[in-house]
Structure 1
Amino acid sequence: MRRYIIPQMLVAALVMALSWLQCSVRAATASRPGGICEIFVLPRGYACDERQVQTDDGFLLGVQRVSTKAQSGTTSRKPVFLYHGMLSGGESWLLNERDNSLPLVLADAGYDVWIGNTRTTDFSYGHTTASRGDQEFWDWSTDDLVAHDLPIMLQLVYAGTNQTAHFVGFSQGTQVAVGGFVEGHVLPYVDRVVLLAPVVRVDTIKSAMGIAAGLFLVDQMMLLARIWEFNAHLQSGEKLLNTICGYPNAHCYDDYISTFTGANCCLNETRRGYYEEYETQSTATKNLAHFAQQYRTNSFAKYDYGWWNNLFRYHSLSPPEYDLRRIPAMPMLLVYGGTDGLADADDVQLFLKSITFSPQELFLPDYGHLDLLVGTRSNVDIYPTVLDFLAKPDA
């Protein structure tokens, strides 16, 4: 048994028991025609069911459970929870061909796969009282995903399996997980951790969108203009992208993928039309603003509401930082690329220097941000290492 778990065993047992009761009351199997199961999983011959779980602030999250048909309904396999990045949902793991989609690769390896969807993504279920046109629906940032979304989804997995889960996150999903490790919200439910394109520190990002939002306060302009929802496909999003370019005829919208992520080496351009049927999805402008604040302040801190409101929320003039030194030693694998404009290699090194243990690393010099999610060679360059890491026995 791992030494880092021993001091937490009694507390974890109590928390898990309470969580099971909470999840059993607030979670339900959902019938969703046109959902992730129906579109991406069932046609490929896998078992899949849709779940819905409610956060304590009223959002109805979609979670999918995927397995091979031969293993459907069993609970002996280790669960793996996948959490997506910004501007996408759980479907982003399934946009490639069958042998190059991580949930299906994991299911073929015998894992019990669970896919999480953030609160306002297309394959979640909205809110108990607010609609998509309400400011309240978009009043959230990374802090809310740390405090509400990720914990309740991992509690759902534990309630359904009676096991801790391996965690695999991509992009913002990695930052949410790291925030949860710092706060302690998710530690009782997580075993091994894989961070793909880890966007934890964003001090030196190369993304044009990130730099512009950070330096030119584009995020604040949108909030002042009462634009609560951001989507590159909306008219407001297209105007924002072209404004960021700084050149009237540049039309950043035509290449918004590179605008957000930087260059990618290994995408299948013939599938771009298919990708764009589902990506990008909306996020909260406040969520973008939170990333921009982190870039401007060179810190992984909570959302800055201004010194007066910070006093009431945090009892300090400035927002507190997520103290990465509080993350306990755990089995962790970091996978990152040398040309990533968001999970910049220098920022990954800042993260590594900020924690108190040494994770396993897989560095791919030619890979960009999206190559780590929908790259054409993921099943050769990435997934074998991930499977080997997840299969290791506990020390």
Structure 2
Amino acid sequence: LQIPFLSRLHLSEYFSLAISLLFVALEHFISIITLLLPTPIISLCYRATRRLFNYLSSPSSRRNRNYKKGVWSSIANASDFVELCELYGYYAEEHILQTKDGYLLGLHRLGWRRGEEGLTVNGTGDGVAKKKVVYLHHGLLMNSEVWVCLTERERCLPFELVERGYDVWLGNNRGNKYSKKSVHCAPTSTKFWNFSMDQFAFHDIPDSIAYILETTNQPSLSYIGFSQGTAQAFATLSIHPTLNEKVDVFIALAPAMSPKGLTSRIVDSFVKASPDVLFLAFGRRAILGSTPMWQAILYPPIFVRIIDTALRFLFGWTGKNMTPDQKLAAYPHLYSYTSTKSVVHWFQIIRNGVFQMYDDEAPSPVAMNRNKYYKVAKFPTRNIKTPIVLVYGGSDSLVDINVMLKELPRHTVAKEISHYEHLDFLWADSVDELVFPHVFEALDKHARPEASTPGTGNRRKRQRASTIQQSHPSGALPAPGDRPEAEDTSSTFSTHRARKITQNTSRPSSSSQDTNGRPHTPILSPPPYISTPESPGSRPTSSSRIPHPASYAQAVSQRQHSPVHARTPFSPPKQEGRKDSHVGSSSQVTAQSSTSRPEGWWSSDEVAGSE
């Protein structure tokens, strides 16, 4: 082990690093002790934390939590992606692909609306429904479950895309819950975990896209990424020129490229440390592998409080845009395994301020002038030809939009939601009203779905007042074919400036009742599908499944006859007096460049500032 980071840290930073190493050692010790405990003792710890929390809570808080327990507990306790989808009556396929370097990755597919029985989607032969394909990818330390663990169907992006006529696929990184296998080595070996974002870009993303396009017989797809899922797409598209022709549009939610850093000085000392110290603290396999253990022994509200505290400590996020029920439902699905090396890769990017490949040669304390003879390769993101739409939060501490725009091609479009933080793009209470319209507009512009199924042409054409639509002088919304001039991102540009368009948005009212004034029936647990489709593109017919209960059929009927702004909530109707103060303005930045300058050239004084 080399002498770490000599002359790279101040004395106070060494002290912070020592404290953080002490916490890591203590956590490892507690994890080992817990693993040796029998199940009855773990259950006893769970009951003890529950009693403690209830003792410290007010009686009204306990009554409210018990009343709403059925809302979030079914989602929190769902074992996997398929079960989460079944809670809302959607059928999900599971696929496995092998990457070129031997890892087995899990893919999930949502290709059918509720009620589309016996329909063949994107298969071969006659009577096949052709649907455009959308591919969603998760963030760091996550898996595909984070997209579907919401307490309301209308806030679940994959379900909304399915209802709009898309064939939806969700990917998983190597090492996580659905991709923890390789044909060359076992997950218990350090060789299995020897991967970083480089392997995601060279293998996982391109191989997943190739498998999806081959299975669906489609020439291209649209990519939607969240957090690290956007960084993986930036890296992949920059080093695979031919892949740009197979991606219609890249929509980046809470995009990550070169984060500004962490708010905690203790953790920031890890960022500046040598990789040797990080591997010494966390090992060379999976990082934070004890998280499921803490989830098992802690009462859910306490677990949520701990996660909220950690997010505030690390990133300064408040989580105020997410409801308590949503946190209770989603946080159990927040964590999944990844390698320590992939986190070290991010620390290198933050420390150097460059979206680079993994640096295998840790800087030696005596090699003071190594930059003169050695330079880590950057991902050439300015070479991306795929249309890019960035949707970022103004309160997201991990996004530096001005730096990001300088490293992206001229056709990039950036849209800001001023009060949103990082996780809000997955689970915020208003995500369907402030984020989805941006997504749907980008898909409609670059990859409009082709619905060939009889009778589906007029289904799900509801669209709420969008934050990306500008009002006419009369106050009316523009016609569907109208577009603000600032959103013209064609290749003919007359000026080199990132223009910012800001408009006030009012939140449309939503209802949780049907046309007769009755609340919708929540779908808690429809029966699972028990038969396997004969081909990847066909869904089991109604005769091959267990019939739905009457309450489930009623809920589907109510959804089809609901008004245009009605919700079909998983939870009971929302309480009156809901706070709307967080709904602010939405901003759009369009990256443009004149033909007299090299493509991708940027200047810091020519990037529009924030409000």
TM over 0.5: yes
| Partner Cα distance (2:222, 2:322) in 1 | 27
Give 1:322 shift: 1.0
Distance across 1 between alignment mates of 2:429 and 2:238: 34
Is the deviation greater in 61-70 or in 74-83? 61-70
Contact kept? 2:287, 2:340, Cα under 8 Å: no
| Unaligned segments of structure 1, at least 5 residues | 1-32, 239-250, 310-315
What is the rounded CA distance, in whole Å, between the counterparts of 2:363 and 2:262 in structure 1?
Answer: 32
**Partner Cα separation in structure 2 for residue 104 and residue 307 of structure 1:** 44
**Partner-residue secondary structure (3-state), 1:292:** helix
* Preserved CA contact (<8 Å) 2:387 2:411: no
Q: Work out which of the residue numbers 381, 386, 390 in structure 1 matches 2:439.
A: 386
- The 8 Å contact of residues 200 and 348 in structure 1, kept in 2 or not, is answered as no
In the alignment, does 2:271 pair up with 1:214?
A: yes
Cα gap change, 1:307 to 1:340, in 2 (>3 Å): closer
* 2:270–2:278 Cα contact (<8 Å) kept: no
- Alignment match of 2:138 (pick from 51, 64, 84): 84
SS in 1 for 2:110: strand
Query: For the residues of structure 1 that align with 2:360 and 2:279, how far apart are their CA atoms?
Result: 12
Q: Does 1:36 align with 2:91?
A: no
Aligned residue identity for 1:85: G
**2: CA distance, partners of 1:254 / 1:351:** 27
Q: Give SS of 1:334's match.
A: strand
- TM-score relative to the length of structure 2: 0.52
The question of whether the paired residues in 1 share the 8 Å contact of 2:278 and 2:344 is answered with: no
Matched, 1:132 2:187: yes
1:226/1:260 Cα in 2 relative to 1: closer, same or farther (>3 Å)?
Answer: closer
1:165 aligned to which of 221, 224, 227: 221
Q: CA deviation at 1:391?
A: 0.8
1:51 partner SS: strand
* Structure 1 or 2: more strand by fraction: 1
Alignment match, 1:262: 316
CA contact 2:110–2:167 (8 Å) conserved in 1: yes
CA distance in 2, matches of 1:47, 1:125: 24
For residues 1-60 of structure 1, the C-alpha deviation after alignment (integer angstroms, 9 at most, x for no partner) is xxxxxxxxxxxxxxxxxxxxxxxxxxxxxxxx95412x1112312231100001112211
SS in 2 for 1:376: coil
Which amino acid in 1 is paired with 2:233? A
Q: Which structure has the larger Rg?
A: 2
Spell out, residue by residue over 1:213-235, the C-alpha distance to the aligned partner (whole angstroms, 9 max, x if none): 31345x54231356124544617
Match 1:189 to one of 246, 254, 257: 246
Q: CA deviation at 1:176?
A: 0.7
Cα distance in 2 for partners of 1:290, 1:102 equals 29
Partner Cα distance (1:262, 1:53) in 2: 38
Q: Secondary structure at the match of 1:296?
A: helix
Change (3 A) 1:324 1:188: same
Determine if the alignment matches structure 1 residue 73 to structure 2 residue 120.
yes
Percent of aligned pairs with the same amino acid = 27
State the match for 1:323 in structure 2: 380
Q: Structure 1's 307 and 252: CA in aligned 2 closer, same or farther, altered over 3 A?
A: same
1:296 aligns with 2:351: yes
1:30 aligns with none
Matches of 2:153 and 2:359, distance apart in 1: 42
SS of match in other structure, 1:271: helix
Cα shift readout 1:276-315 (whole Å, capped 9, x = no counterpart): 3222222211111001001111111111111799xxxxxx
1:205 Cα shift? 3.1
Q: Per-residue deviation at 1:354?
A: 1.9
1:275 alignment partner in structure 2: 330
Q: Any stretches of 5+ residues in structure 2 without a counterpart?
A: 1-77, 123-129, 295-304, 365-372, 448-489, 491-611
Seen in structure 2, the aligned counterparts of structure 1 residues 207 and 107 have a Cα distance that, compared at 3 Å, is farther
Write the mapping of 1:1-395 to structure 2, written as runs, cut at 5 A.
Answer: 35-37=80-82, 39-67=83-111, 68-69=113-114, 70=116, 72-75=119-122, 76-96=130-150, 97-163=152-218, 164-184=220-240, 186-202=243-259, 204-208=260-264, 211-217=268-274, 220-225=276-281, 227-232=283-288, 234=290, 255-263=309-317, 264-306=319-361, 317-328=374-385, 330-342=386-398, 344=399, 347-393=400-446
Counterparts of 1:252 and 1:211 in 2: how far apart (Å)?
A: 20
Q: Check 1:114–1:259 CA distance in 2 against 1; reply closer, same or farther (3 A cut).
A: farther
The alignment's C-alpha RMSD in Å is 2.7
Change (3 A) 1:299 1:236: farther
Does the 8 Å CA contact 2:80/2:145 hold for their aligned counterparts? no
- Cα pair distance change 1:131/1:261, threshold 3 Å: farther
SS at the partner of 1:81? strand
Equivalent in the alignment of 1:242: none
Residue deviations 1:121-159 (CA, integer Å, cap 9, x gap): 112252223222211121111100000100111001110
Does the 8 A contact of 1:80 with 1:167 survive in 2?
A: yes
The amino acid that maps onto 2:215 is: G
How far apart, CA to CA, are the structure 1 residues paired with 2:394 and 2:289?
29
